[in-house]
Chains A and B, each alone.
Chain A
Amino acid sequence: MKILVANRGEIAVRVIRACREMGIPTVAVYSECDRQARHVREADQAFAIGPGEAAKSYLRIDAIVEVARRSGATAVHPGYGFLAENARFAAACRDAGLTFIGPSPEAISAMGSKTAARKIALEAGVPVVPGTETPFDAEASDEEMRAAADRVGYPLVVKAVAGGGGKGMRVVDAPAALIPAIHTARSEAGSAFGDSAVYLERQIVKPRHIEIQLLGDAHGTVIPFVERECSIQRRHQKVVEESPSLAVTPDLRRRMAASAAAVARAVGYTNAGTIEFLLDDDGSFYFLEMNTRLQVEHPVTEMVTSIDLVHWQIRIARGEPLDIDPERALTPHGHAIECRIYAEDPDLGFMPSPGLIRGIRPAAGPGVRDDGGVSEGYTVPVFYDSMIAKLVARAADRPEAIARMARALAEYEVLGIRTTIPFFLWLMRQPDYIEGRYDTTYLDRLLASRAGESFNELTEADEELAAMATGLDAFMRARAVAGGDGPVRLQGMWKHAARREALSP
């Protein structure tokens, strides 16, 4: 087996790590702006597939299949995003004689349309959130959409049929806002997924987002895992995930796991997948959608079960039977929290902050896992999602895991660009977060209640220290340039680089 990883960033690195552990050679693909990327350096082989724009590189099925052929790869791991949930890609791999490390194209198609997925869940006896059963096409009239919205009831959510990651999604509280919201959602869905079809769904008030990871093998075995709690979201994008959830009792866990497995079995699901549910505060849960791929947040499940999901993806693709003890998969050991570290400036409304990473020192130590995708000297490109790493902390219980995460965040250094680390440090101190009193609306409400204060909470002494350090840095660099007897003991290239830097405006 030789695996082509049809992705970039941290997930490509994650998959390559698993391959290394299993003794499987790897092939990376990269766009022009990713020549220096970490996944290229960590793979055994690497091939260029086009310019920075994803549509001309990471989304090009023909180019990727051609690289597989040229490199002698026998299997393809799609990661998440890009082509991971593209049935045509899975089919193209199959047609080219490549093993697609994921579900069948048929299962991807069945679950890829959110309206079709809802029907499957209903037929499997799993409740769904009330909504429109067929999507609106581009010709749907405003009257038609208003009438459908009235039947679903307000507040409602406009969602992209091909959607994911909160893109193409809008909450509508009242009829007046419906049509503009549909237009925005369509435009976003069109540019993100190439499909602007949207549908409507009733909004469950103050729900938790709980999801069940599962694995299915080619022999009909489906194993559901302990839940992940993903209610900490900003504009429908998950930013913190945990396992287990404080809101899920062992009995509820078993019922949600059984429902998830029923949906997966209904489509003959193989490989890794996730069933997302909304959990109402009365304990009832509704099927939301199925993600037919490895999820960004899979590490929290790995941390509390010690089961390597990527290893299993590969083993399942090789035809091996799942021999995981179902009880082990459902029983969390300790508590794990993941923070998605983005190249974004939290103090500027989480604006992307791409740029040159001058240095990076990930957190380490007991119970800490860094799934990083970048390295020093790499320029975070503007073309893709700006996540640069996922930081995971595991401890015996949730309070210890929060303390460990706070410790790890303070330790994590990313130099030269702004990241969301200060935001997470702030979040880990919020009383409602610490007490577990939150739902999917919590973070947006909390952020809206702020009056523009910085997430970088600095005391007067901190600011003085920053000024002192900046002054010392400027002093030392000036001395180094002057060639004086300064304390900067820089040699060779470092000295040259420091001088160039000090001289640049």
Chain B
Amino acid sequence: MTFEIDVNGRTRTVAVERTAGGRYRVVVDGRAHEVDAERVGLYGLSLLVDGASGVSRHVSVAPGGAPGEVLVGLEGRTVAAMVNGRRRGRVSADAIGAHGEVTIPAPMPGRVLRVLVAPGDDVAARQALLVVEAMKMENEIRSPKAGRVKDVSVTPGMSVEAGRALVVIE
């Protein structure tokens, strides 16, 4: 089976097949690995990578909050991955400096306290666009890039779900 897997904003082609002896041959972007993979619990994977070297890695792969997203745990670090599709509903730091139209979604459920921009306003990268209250804290939602506000689809007082479009910057 071959998957397109997006990790940290980069798509890799991962081909997986079973080999004799209950192991796996995993080819990541053309680099082949012989892997002894055992499930430990529902989301844990114990991997002995490249047979003879005996390299042991413990990785968890569990569904994340956004649709289609999985969160991969690597010794205290977490990276989002997406199988056969793009991540959605997330403005990541690497989007800063991006060109084109960007829809800024609510990163968490909450209540819109203040809207600081209006359609037609020019905004700088990292400029605060609105303030959303969640978990008793006021969180400023900032623009991932410099541009012009195309649309503001919320008003103060509105409750918003995670992923709901708040502002469109072009």
One of A287-295, A302-310, A410-418, A439-447 at the interface: A410-418
Interface residues of A in 363-414 (CB under 8 A from B): 382-386, 409-414
One of A6-14, A89-97, A472-480 at the interface: A472-480
Asked if A358 lies at the interface with its beta carbon under 8 angstroms from chain B, I say yes
- The residue of chain A having its C-beta at the shortest distance from the C-beta of B80 within the complex is A418
Asked if B64 lies at the interface with its beta carbon under 8 angstroms from chain A, I say yes
Which of A354, A384, A458 contacts B74 (CB under 8 A)? A458
Which of A383, A472, A497 contacts B16 (CB under 8 A)? A472
Contact yes or no, A488 B39, CB < 8 A: yes
Q: How far is the CA of A416 from the CA of B45 in the complex (A)?
A: 15
Contact yes or no, B45 A382, CB < 8 A: no
Question: For chains A and B in complex, what number of residue pairs have CB atoms within 8 angstroms?
Answer: 199
Asked if B48 lies at the interface with its beta carbon under 8 angstroms from chain A, I say no
Contact yes or no, B138 A188, CB < 8 A: yes
Residues in chain B near residue A478, CB distance under 8 A:
1
Contact yes or no, A456 B47, CB < 8 A: no
How many A residues, CB 8 Å from partner? 68
- The residue of chain A having its C-beta at the shortest distance from the C-beta of B108 within the complex is A352
Q: Quick one: CB contact mask for A409-450 with B, threshold 8 Å, 1 for yes?
A: 111111111110110010000000000000000000000000
Q: Given contacts A456-B78, A466-B7, A474-B3, are A351 and B39 in contact (CB under 8 A)? A: no
Q: Quick one: CB contact mask for B84-108 with A, threshold 8 Å, 1 for yes?
A: 0000001111101000000000011
Contact yes or no, B109 A382, CB < 8 A: yes
Q: How far is the CA of A352 from the CA of B37 in the complex (A)?
A: 34
Q: How far is the CA of A188 from the CA of B45 in the complex (A)?
A: 44
Residues in chain B near residue A501, CB distance under 8 A:
63
Q: How far is the CA of A469 from the CA of B139 in the complex (A)?
A: 34
Cβ distance A82 to chain B, nearest Cβ, rounded Å? 11
Q: How far is the CA of A312 from the CA of B14 in the complex (A)?
A: 57
Asked if A192 lies at the interface with its beta carbon under 8 angstroms from chain B, I say yes
Q: Given contacts A167-B137, A354-B108, A421-B76, are A469 and B10 in contact (CB under 8 A)? A: no
Q: Which residue among B29, B67, B75, B94 has the maximum number of chain A CB atoms within 10 Å of its CB?
A: B75
Q: How far is the CA of A303 from the CA of B3 in the complex (A)?
A: 48
Residues in chain B near residue A410, CB distance under 8 A:
75-76
Interface residues of A in 58-93 (CB under 8 A from B): none
Residues in chain A near residue B67, CB distance under 8 A:
505
Residues in chain A near residue B22, CB distance under 8 A:
487
Residues in chain A near residue B133, CB distance under 8 A:
191
Q: How far is the CA of A337 from the CA of B141 in the complex (A)?
A: 32
Cβ distance B33 to chain A, nearest Cβ, rounded Å? 6
Residues in chain A near residue B38, CB distance under 8 A:
487
Contact yes or no, B7 A352, CB < 8 A: no
Asked if B79 lies at the interface with its beta carbon under 8 angstroms from chain A, I say yes
- The residue of chain B having its C-beta at the shortest distance from the C-beta of A380 within the complex is B135
- The residue of chain B having its C-beta at the shortest distance from the C-beta of A237 within the complex is B137
Q: How far is the CA of A113 from the CA of B8 in the complex (A)?
A: 48
Cβ distance A417 to chain B, nearest Cβ, rounded Å? 7
Q: How far is the CA of A268 from the CA of B133 in the complex (A)?
A: 39
Q: Given contacts A351-B108, A456-B77, A466-B74, are A384 and B42 in contact (CB under 8 A)? A: no
Q: How far is the CA of A478 from the CA of B81 in the complex (A)?
A: 17
Contact yes or no, B16 A475, CB < 8 A: yes
Q: How far is the CA of A188 from the CA of B114 in the complex (A)?
A: 12
Which of B3, B24, B57, B71 contacts A416 (CB under 8 A)? B71
Q: How far is the CA of A463 from the CA of B57 in the complex (A)?
A: 13
Contact yes or no, A468 B42, CB < 8 A: no
Which of B26, B73, B138, B142 contacts A468 (CB under 8 A)? B26
Contact yes or no, A351 B72, CB < 8 A: no
Report the 5 A-B pairs with minimum CB-CB distance, sorted nearest first.
Answer: A471-B14, A452-B93, A415-B62, A410-B76, A473-B61
A–B Cβ pairs within 8 angstroms, 21 of them? A188-B138, A348-B90, A351-B134, A356-B65, A358-B43, A412-B76, A416-B62, A416-B63, A416-B71, A418-B78, A425-B76, A454-B93, A466-B8, A470-B83, A474-B3, A474-B83, A475-B24, A478-B1, A488-B39, A494-B42, A501-B63
B residues whose Cβ falls under 8 Å from a Cβ of A: 1, 3, 5, 7-8, 10, 12, 14-16, 22, 24, 26, 28-29, 31, 33, 35, 37-39, 41-45, 47, 49, 57, 59-65, 67-68, 70-79, 81, 83, 90-94, 96, 107-110, 113, 133-139, 142
In the complex, besides A418-B78, A419-B78, 15 extra interface pairs with C-beta distance below 8 angstroms are A167-B137, A348-B90, A351-B134, A352-B135, A412-B76, A425-B76, A462-B79, A467-B7, A468-B49, A470-B5, A471-B28, A473-B45, A474-B83, A476-B39, A494-B42
